Amino acid sequence: MHPTRMVPALAALLCLAVAGCEKTLAFGDANSIIVAVPNELWESTQSEIKYSLETRVFTVTDEKAFTLTQVDPREPTWGNLRRFKQVLVIGSENDPWVLQALEERRGNEALAPPEILQMRDVWAKSQLVTVALLNDGEPLPQLQRLLPELSEQFDEQYRSYVVQRMFVSGPDTLLADSLEATAGFRLMIPAVYDREVRDSVYVFRNDNPDPSELIRQIAVDWMSPVPDDLGPERLLEWRAELVERYYEDEQVVNLADVRGGPGNFGGSHAYQIQASWQSPPGGWPAGGPFLLRAIICEQQERVYLLDAWLYAPGKEKYEYMIQLETILDSFRC
């Protein structure tokens, strides 16, 4: 190598090894996890790891909550993949890839493997590195012990990320206060949602950046007194009336795969139905999931119907369903 070209090459190598060197922004999606583990260990543990971490969630069909990509940290591809937003490192403190991640650990507390540790911005900015720290010896029993906690931790952190992203423009607290004062209920909606009120029906809609690509909508209606026949059939009839009178596009319900039942939301008795909607025969082919809740407010002698639906063709839907679920969870009588 020419001497004048050697300097930048050496500087780049040193930049990777020396703490404090300027780091690039992490890339990848928040639900895409790079798993750094040697091939031989991955072969013996991948079924357990995938079963626990690639959790299946129901939207229209079952989809993965997270997508795992394994890389052997002794191979050249590790140099780029370790700059993803989410990295899971598996091994003992004697493994170089684990040791380098632990160098970013704050504090001097003693290690107590098997355990889970997390550090930020190890190899890139805005990155979260999770270390499944094992003892030397049989790895599978140790991983089996850690995997339930890992799964719960990843899901909680992803949900928190989704909610923060949803409210990046801020929650519409003025709207929530106004609804509480004039409509009899409280609902926390992101400030980017549009609002329309017709009769007693409130419709909140976000179709940015383009309604042909993404629509998130919530409708709220109520009736009083609370009817005696408040079962799933009556709720679906009520939803059909909302669609016919207040929605821009026709929808029919597809109950081929339906989830739900009675529950309690915000301290109130409720009933929930999750299934999918689609355009009627002969219409423009469209569809997506919906989440329907009936919430009984006894002190008002009312039952509220909340209908949240999503249109996101060709996209993973779990993130948007978390958003809609979070909005519905904010409902208070």
**Same domain as 180, residue 142:** no
Helices 318-329 + 139-166 axis angle, to 10: 60
Digit-by-digit pLDDT tens for the chain (333 residues) are 333 333 333 334 444 444 445 789 999 999 999 999 999 999 999 999 999 999 888 787 788 999 999 999 999 999 999 999 999 999 999 999 999 999 877 666 789 999 999 999 999 999 999 999 999 888 999 999 999 999 999 999 999 999 999 999 899 999 999 999 999 999 999 999 999 999 999 999 999 989 999 999 999 999 999 998 888 999 999 999 999 999 988 999 999 899 999 988 888 899 999 999 999 988 788 999 999 999 999 999 999 999 999 999 999 999 999 999 999 999 999
Give 300's DSSP letter. Answer: G
**Same domain as 183, residue 157:** no
CA-to-CA distance for 267 and 30, rounded, in angstroms?
Answer: 32
Tell me the two tokens of residue 327: 């909005």
Rg of the chain over Cα atoms, rounded to whole angstroms, equals 25
Q: Give the dihedral of Cα atoms 152, 154, 158, 160; nearest 10 deg.
A: 60
**Same domain as 309, residue 221:** yes
**Same domain as 242, residue 212:** yes
Total length of the chain: 333
* Domain harbouring 311, CATH code: 2.60.120.1690
127-145 residue pLDDT tens = 999 999 999 888 999 999 9
- 25 exposure class (CB count in 10 Å sphere: 0-12, 13-18, 19+): exposed
Domain boundary among 100, 133, 166: 166
CA-to-CA distance for 140 and 42, rounded, in angstroms?
Answer: 10
**Same domain as 324, residue 190:** yes
Q: Is residue 11 part of a domain?
A: no
The pTM of the full predicted model, rounded to 2 decimals, is 0.86
Closest by CA to 253, choosing from 287, 282, 285, 220, is 287
Query: H-helix or E-strand containing 273?
Result: strand 268-278
Using CA atoms, how far residue 267 sits from 1, 295, 325, in Å, is 71, 10, 16
Task: Find the domain containing 35 and state its range.
Answer: 18-166
**Which pLDDT value is given to residue 282?**
81
Domain boundary among 118, 135, 166: 166
Sign of CA dihedral 41, 44, 47, 51: negative
Asked if 308 and 291 count as a contact pair (C-beta separation under 8 A), the reply is: yes
Q: Is residue 5 part of a domain?
A: no
CA-to-CA distance for 171 and 188, rounded, in angstroms?
Answer: 6
**Which pLDDT value is given to residue 137?**
84
Asked if 186 and 180 count as a contact pair (C-beta separation under 8 A), the reply is: yes
Q: Is residue 247 part of a domain?
A: yes
